[in-house]
Amino acid sequence: MNNKEIFVGIDVSKKQLDVAILPDAKHKVYANNEEGIGQLTIFLKSLSPTLIVLEATGGFEMPCVGVMAAEGLPVVVVNPRQIRDFAKATGKLAKTDAIDAQTIARFGEAVRPEIRELKSPEMQELAALNTRRCQIIQMITAEKNRLATATKWTREDIKENLAWLKERLNGINDELNKSIRNSPVWREKDDLLQSVPGIGPVASATLLSQLPELGTLNRRQIAALVGVAPLNRDSGIMRGKRCVWGGRADIRTALYMATLVATRFNPVIAAFYRRLCNAGKAHKVALTACMHKLLTILNSMVKNRSHWSPVWLENS
C-alpha cells in the first residue's frame, strides 16, 4: 500500500465525517467530534496518504483540519464550487454523503490542489472577529432599512436594537484593534498597510485576517487568489471582454471601498484612475483595474516590509 499514491476525500457534516479512499475505493464513517476525529487521524497516519481533501463547510471542517494539520498530514480545504463543477464534468449527478466523499477524493487525485499553510489559532480568532463585525454591520443596515417604513408601534423597538448593535460594533472594533496591536507581526503589517492612502483600519483588518498569503505570492497569484485578475473569454476568432470572477468576496468588498477612497486621496491610484477614464474605460472597469494595482502595491510592500512612498513605487 505504501508504494502507491493514496488520495482521501472527506465529506463533512455537522455530525459525521464520510471518508473515501482511493485507489482502493474504501468508505468509512467517523463521528465529527473529538473522539471520531482522533480515530480518523490515527487511521490516516497509518495510510501515509498523498493528499487529503475536504470542502469548506462553514466551519464544521475546521476541528478536523486543525488536528490533521497538527499531526503533519497533507490536508487541504477547497471551495465547494470546484467540487460541484468537477462532479458535473464527470457525470456524477447523484448526491449522497458517500458519493460526495468519493467525488472529493477523485478531485484531489485529478487536480491535486496546492497545500497552503493553515491559519494559526490567533489568525482564526482575528478572522472570526472580522466576520462578526461584518455580520453586525449587515444587521445594522437591515434595521435601518426597516426603520424607514416602520410603524409607530415598532419604531422605538428598532431604535433600541440599533443602539445595541452600534454598541456591539464599537466593542468588536476595539477587540480587533487590540488583537492587532498586541501582536508584533500584525502590528508591523498593520502599520505598513495603513501607511497607504485609502487603507484604513477596516481594510487592514480584513486583509490581515482573510488574506494571510499577502506578501508571500507574486502579483499574478495574489490577484487571482483575491479575484481581481482579468480572465480571458475567447473562442475561435471571437474575442470577448475580459472580466474578473471567483476569488474571496470579503476581501474584494474591502478592497473596493479602499480603492474608492484611493481614487481621491492616493496620488498613484488617482493618477492611474484618471488615465484610464481619459482613455475611455468604463467607470467600473477603471475601478477594478485600480483594485488590481492597489493590491499589487500592498503585496509588494508587505513582501519588502516597506512603508508607502510614491517615490519608492516609481523606482521599483
For 253-301, the pLDDT digits (tens) are 999 999 999 999 999 999 999 999 999 998 988 999 999 999 999 999 9
Q: Say if CB 173 and CB 213 are below 8 A apart.
A: no
Q: Nearest-CA neighbor of 22 among 115, 114, 113, 105? A: 105
Q: Which of 283, 284, 211, 197 is nearest to 247 (CA)?
A: 211
Question: Which of the 8 DSSP states describes residue 263?
Answer: H
pLDDT given at position 233: 63
Instruction: Output the nine-digit C-alpha cell for 17.
Output: 465525517
The predicted pLDDT at position 263 comes to 95
Count of C-beta atoms within a 10 Å radius of residue 66: 16
> What is d(CA 83, CA 9) in angstroms, rounded to the nearest whole number?
11
- What angle do the packed helices 283-304 and 184-194 form, to 10 degrees? 140
Backbone angles phi, psi at 15, to 5 degrees: -105, -25
Q: What is the pLDDT, as a whole number, of residue 240?
A: 58
What integer pLDDT is reported at residue 217 of this predicted model? 87
d(CA 39, CA 13): 17
Q: Which residues of the chain have pLDDT under 70?
A: 1-3, 231-246, 310-316
- What is the Cα–Cα distance from 207 to 179, expressed in whole angstroms? 14
- What fold characterizes domain 7-111? Nucleotidyltransferase; domain 5 (3.30.420)
Query: Under 8 Å CB-to-CB from 313, ≥6 apart: which residues?
Result: 268, 297
Cell of 152: 409607530
Assigned C-alpha cell, 212: 494571510
Question: Which three three-digit cell numbers place residue 159?
Answer: 431604535
User: In whole angstroms, what is the distance from residue 257 CA to residue 262 CA?
Assistant: 9
Q: How far is CA 79 from CA 53, 88, 286, in A?
A: 10, 15, 29
What the block records as the C-alpha cell of 163 is 443602539
SS (H, E, C) 196-225: CCCCCHHHHHHHHHHCCCCCCCCHHHHHHH
DSSP sequence for 79-116: -HHHHHHHHHHTT-----HHHHHHHHHHHHHHH-PPP-
The C-alpha cell that represents 304 in the structure block: 519588502
Which residues does 38 contact at the CB level (< 8 Å), separation at least 6?
A: 67
Residue 311: what pLDDT? Answer: 62
The model carries a pTM of 0.71
- Tens of pLDDT, residue by residue over 24-45, are 888 999 999 999 999 999 999 9
Check: CB of residue 249 under 8 Å from CB of residue 237: no
pLDDT value at position 58? 78
* Residues 6 or more apart whose Cβ sits within 8 Å of residue 120: none
